[in-house]
Amino acid sequence: MSIDQTLRLLAKARGLTVTDIATAIPRAGAATVSAWMRGDKLPGRDQLDALARTFGVPASALLSELASTLDPARTKGEHDLLAAYRDLNTRQQGALLEVARGMAGHKARRKA
């Protein structure tokens, strides 16, 4: 997940506006934070640290897939399923996807 997507998800999850975030980041105005969230600019190291403190996450979460687990649109079941999927080997992941797709297809056929 790109850093702009991560920032947007975290802002939504925490209920923070661009102005709220800009207020917490030294030497960053709302225009700069907005550019980060659009993906037009990247924050520097000090700004990343300040962003991490603002969102209450490790700085690495801003740059890694960990941030995807903070998606407020996901249910607990989806989080659990994703965590279990990541623990499987490649062959097992493929098998699980086949089962899930088959179940989804079966459901779609029942509705039709």
Is a pLDDT exceeding 60 seen at residue 66?
no
| Percent above pLDDT 70 for the chain | 83
Higher-confidence residue of 61 and 109: namely 61
Q: Which amino acid type is present at position 33? A: V
Q: For the domain 3-70, what is the CATH code?
A: 1.10.260.40
Instruction: Tell me the helix, strand and coil percentages in the chain, rounded to 5.
Output: 75, 0, 25
Q: What is the pLDDT of residue 16?
A: 94
> Long-range CB contacts (< 8 A, 24+ apart) of 31-39?
36/3, 36/4, 36/7, 37/4, 37/7, 37/8, 37/11, 38/4, 39/2, 39/3, 39/4
> Long-range CB contacts (< 8 A, 24+ apart) of 100-106?
none
